[in-house]
Amino acid sequence: MRLLLAALLTLPICVPGCMAQLDADNWGKGSPGVQLAAHESSRQHTEKGTAIWYNLLGKGFPDGVVYNLWRKLPGKQPEVLIKGVSFDQRGLLICSGKPGFCSGDTPDDPVNIKTTAAMGEEKQMAVVSEDGKTAGYVDVVPFPLETANKGCKLSVTRVSPLADVVMARASGLKPDQMIVVTRRYGHDHMSARYTSRADGTWQEIVSAQNTYQPSGKAEISLSGADCEVSVTFDYGPGSNKPQ
């Protein structure tokens, strides 16, 4: 079964009687022992950007249960993409065609997800049982904005489509280390001090609030005792063009 997800996953597919809305506050809170992964099968360059194909693989999902495939867009509530999915013996997400489950072109037809993405755009998907008791989540960034230096890594993902709000994450820092983070949007810049977590990570929402330049180049830099890393990216209209 081929499912096309546009650059922002804007084409929901749901049969009548879809289940109640999944609470966005619980997004990412998977069930113990359950894992969901996205396997990239191929990429194809097109006039509308690079088309990327994914299959979803699950572990720990109970057999014989009806699941729904969900997606989450930035700033919006989660939505159902396909109702009635299940997993085969390999753990591959399928439409089995059995009573009560979705149907594809053939029995046990794999769900093939096609998408495009901008730099730093995150694709968020979930497989959740209809009773909500079993859930697995997976996020993929087809074109990551990240850099590494001396064991430290800094990545930036879009929270808003135009990257005027992003999530910055760092790893490989010393535990409880003081760091300085500088954000620049256009000609505006601001620095702040933070402390890394006990596991040597740090994350923070960074925005272009009060920036006078509506589009341009942005940069997030992090400096600590042992490393300095920075990520540069475009923001504003046109920055979310598929790669």
Mean pLDDT of 37-43: 96
pLDDT range class, residue 118, cuts 50, 70, 90:
very high
What is the structure's pLDDT at 2? Answer: 55
Look at residue 1 in the predicted model and tell me its pLDDT.
59
Could you tell me what percentage of the chain is helix, strand and coil, using 3-state DSSP and rounding each to the nearest 5?
0, 50, 50
Q: Are 119 and 243 in contact, with CB atoms under 8 Å apart?
A: yes
State yes or no: pLDDT of 108 exceeds 70. Answer: yes
Could you read off the pLDDT of 149-207 as tens digits, one per residue?
Answer: 989 999 999 999 999 999 999 999 999 999 999 999 998 989 999 999 999 999 999 99
pLDDT digits (tens, 9 = 90+) for 50-95: 999 999 999 999 999 999 999 998 777 899 999 999 999 999 999 9
> For residue range 1-31, what is the model confidence (pLDDT) as tens digits?
555 443 333 333 333 344 446 777 778 889 9
Euclidean distance between CA atoms 10 and 242, whole angstroms:
14
pLDDT for 26: 78
Angle at 71 between CA 67 and CA 72, to 5 degrees: 135
Q: Which residues make Cβ contacts (< 8 Å) with residue 106, sequence separation at least 6?
A: 97
The bridge status of strand 216-223 relative to strand 202-207 is unpaired
Structure tokens, 196: 């890394």
All structural domains of the chain, each given as residue ranges with its CATH number in brackets, are 2-140 (2.60.40), 145-235 (2.60.40.230)
Phi, psi of 24 (to 5 degrees): -65, -30
The dihedrals phi and psi of 26, each to the nearest 5 degrees, come to: -95, 5
pLDDT at residue 9, as a whole number: 38
User: What totals of helices (H) and strands (E) does the chain contain, helices first?
Assistant: 0, 18
